[in-house]
């Protein structure tokens, strides 16, 4: 069985392929000759993951899954949320996003936040959603150099260090994306192996 992951990130593809049963061959967007930028125009993580999965299924006729992730900060009413990647505006930059978030939080005592990932799977003409959440808090300054995005300023609940100080193996075990992917993988193993 072939399944498309709507991503061009080869590291993500390899990581997920290792978790899947051998009966499922994972393909990336390049593998199906999809070089178009899929616009994320929805206002929710669920909406964007559905939009991307639908685009691949409709245009290329493949079973597919897509994900969208946002950082939701309690004292900012859930912002940046679905706009996490472009929070500070253009040009899109993780550094600019982190600096804007730290500035916006200067007057707030409550630094509770959570990362949330939603995966939409389109398979055999059905749609399934899987969610992963990692609760934590926003630090007052950057810590570590690993990872990407907001990792240097996010400390997961129950840990004394930021995501950016953890190995990818450690982070993937507890991260929002890791949790959502595990739910997806468990579903595929139970249903299609």
Q: Which residues are catalytic?
A: 68
Give residues with Cβ within 8 angstroms of 191, minimum separation 6.
Answer: none
Cα separation values, 192 from 28, 64, 181, 186, Å:
20, 14, 16, 10
Burial bucket for residue 20 (CB in 10 Å: 0-12, 13-18, 19+) = buried
Element (H, E) at 54: helix 45-60
């Amino acid at each position: 069985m072939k399944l498309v992951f709507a991503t061009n990130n080869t590291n993500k593809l390899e990581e997920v392929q290792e978790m899947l049963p051998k009966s499922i061959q994972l393909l990336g967007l390049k593998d199906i000759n999809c070089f178009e930028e899929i616009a994320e125009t929805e206002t929710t993580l669920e909406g964007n993951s559905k939009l991307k999965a639908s685009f691949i299924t409709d245009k290329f006729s493949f079973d597919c899954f897509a994900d969208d992730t946002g950082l939701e900060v309690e004292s900012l009413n859930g912002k940046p949320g679905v706009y996490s990647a472009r929070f500070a505006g253009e040009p899109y930059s993780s550094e600019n996003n982190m600096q804007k978030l730290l500035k916006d939080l200067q007057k707030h005592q409550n630094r509770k936040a959570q990362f949330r990932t939603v995966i939409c799977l389109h398979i055999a003409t059905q749609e399934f959603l899987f969610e992963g959440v990692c609760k934590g808090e926003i630090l007052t300054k950057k810590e570590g150099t690993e990872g990407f995005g907001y990792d240097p300023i996010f400390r997961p609940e129950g840990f004394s260090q930021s995501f950016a100080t953890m190995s990818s193996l450690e982070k993937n075990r507890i991260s929002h994306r890791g949790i959502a992917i595990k739910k997806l993988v468990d579903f595929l193993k139970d249903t299609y192996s």
